[in-house]
């Protein structure tokens, strides 16, 4: 009886160790997608009045958890009954990520200057009801974007544990879902409140006549747009690297062609190539549709 108990205890300890190891590996692998997730959601959570920023982030966070609750059972069923479909879905997701990365680069070089004054004026004349409606639409847009990124994160995580038993797969995917959601939206909440923290320090510095406090407050206020821009750049590179990595690690020919290059360079190059191919196809189809309509 005692030996059976200790054997069970040993099995549980081994399982927990395996879970911790696989969760760490899978979380590290999916971390490449989090830069873009942060940049996208930080951008979508800004532009609201100060009092509404945290409620908006909380609404998006709840939507993100709901997304993962929908995605997880679907992905687990696939891994049980049709594991051969997971890699093709992953490759399709890689194309989408590559396209998103290439589109951001294209937009940066060819559509950098957008008139924002008219948008600011429009917002100033909105009624309270219209502002609430606009907020809801922005939250829906953020939750939809999160759904796509969550799907990619979970599939990338699954690709790490696809050969493991279900008792490892399910907890690892749950850990990835919870950690990435709390991590991303916790950081987003901190980022979007930086300017308010800065303004608060500036106000306090006037009361206490502290120059250093004021300078630090000014730095915080000015850092918000810079941080979002940096996250956007890092996120774009991460998307291209993750997209390219999906193809480098799952298509033998691609791996053979680029094995002489450093892994990160090879992954970014493949991501760039795929992204601009898909972007060119999308632009061509859009051009043809416009021609047909005319």
Q: Which residue has the higher pLDDT, 267 or 183?
A: 267
For the ranges 28-37, 228-237, 278-287, which has the lowest average pLDDT? 28-37
Is residue 124 scored above 70 in pLDDT? Answer: no
Task: Report which of 106, 99, 145, 79 is spatially closest to residue 244, judged by C-alpha positions.
Answer: 99
> Which pLDDT does position 285 carry in this prediction?
92
Taking only the tens place, the pLDDT of each residue in 28-64 is 555 555 655 666 566 666 556 666 777 888 888 899 8
Mean pLDDT is lowest, of 28-37, 45-54, 96-105, 168-177, for 28-37
What pLDDT is attached to residue 294?
74
- Region 152-178 average pLDDT: 78
111 secondary structure, DSSP code: S
pLDDT at 201 over 70: yes
Whole-angstrom distance, CA of residue 274 vs CA of residue 256: 17
pLDDT of residue 137: 83
Whether pLDDT at 186 is above 80: yes
User: pTM of the entire structure?
Assistant: 0.67
Least confident stretch, 12-21, 87-96, 248-257, 268-277: 12-21
Q: Is the pLDDT score of 10 beyond 80?
A: no
User: Taking 50 as the threshold, does the pLDDT of residue 118 lie above it?
Assistant: no
> Tokens 């993750």 sit at which residue?
242
Instruction: Please tell me the least confidently modeled range out of 14-18, 29-33, 200-204, 285-289.
Output: 14-18
| Structural domain count, the chain | 1
Q: Which of 77, 246, 87, 250 is nearest to 170 (CA)?
A: 77
Q: Can you tell me the mean pLDDT for 12-26?
A: 46
If you average pLDDT over residues 176-188, what whole number do you get?
A: 83
Render the burial of 51-84: b for 16+ CB within 10 Å, e for the rest: eebeebbebbbebbbebbeebbeebbebbeeeee
* Region of poorest pLDDT, from 10-14, 135-139, 211-215: 10-14
If you search the block for the tokens 């979508």, which residue do you land on? 44
Question: Is the CB of residue 146 less than 8 Å from the CB of residue 67?
Answer: yes
What's the rounded Cα separation, in Å, for the pair 193 and 214? Answer: 17
Average pLDDT for 132-148: 79
Q: Which residues contact 59 (CB under 8 A, 6 or more apart)?
A: 139
Check pLDDT > 90 for residue 134. no
Which range of residues forms the domain containing residue 29? 2-293
Q: Which of 46-55, 87-96, 178-187, 222-231 has the lowest mean pLDDT?
A: 46-55
């Amino acid at each position: 009886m005692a030996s059976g108990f200790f054997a069970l205890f040993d099995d549980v300890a081994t399982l927990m160790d395996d879970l911790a190891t696989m969760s760490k590996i899978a979380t590290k692998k999916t971390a490449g997608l989090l830069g873009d997730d942060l940049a996208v959601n930080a951008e979508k959570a800004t532009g609201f009045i100060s009092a509404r920023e945290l409620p908006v982030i909380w609404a998006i966070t709840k939507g993100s958890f709901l997304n993962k609750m929908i995605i997880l059972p679907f992905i687990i069923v696939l891994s049980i009954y049709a594991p051969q479909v997971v890699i093709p879905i992953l490759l399709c997701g890689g194309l989408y990520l590559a396209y998103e990365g290439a589109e951001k680069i294209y937009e940066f070089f060819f559509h950098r200057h957008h008139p924002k004054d008219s948008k600011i004026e429009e917002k100033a004349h909105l009624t309270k009801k219209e502002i609430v409606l606009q907020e809801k639409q922005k939250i829906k847009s953020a939750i939809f974007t999160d759904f796509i990124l969550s799907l990619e994160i979970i599939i990338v995580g699954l690709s790490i544990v696809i050969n493991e038993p279900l008792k490892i797969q399910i907890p690892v995917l749950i850990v990835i879902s919870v950690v990435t959601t709390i991590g991303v939206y916790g950081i987003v909440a901190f980022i979007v409140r930086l300017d308010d923290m800065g303004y608060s320090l500036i106000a306090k510095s006037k009361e206490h006549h502290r120059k250093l406090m004021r300078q630090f407050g000014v730095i915080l206020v000015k850092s918000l747009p810079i941080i979002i821009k940096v996250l956007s750049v890092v996120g774009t590179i991460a998307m291209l690297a993750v997209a390219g990595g999906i193809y480098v690690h799952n298509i033998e020919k691609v791996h053979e062609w680029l094995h002489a290059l450093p892994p990160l360079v090879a992954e970014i190059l493949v991501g760039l190539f795929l992204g601009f191919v898909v972007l060119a196809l999308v632009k061509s189809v859009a051009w043809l549709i416009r021609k047909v309509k005319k």
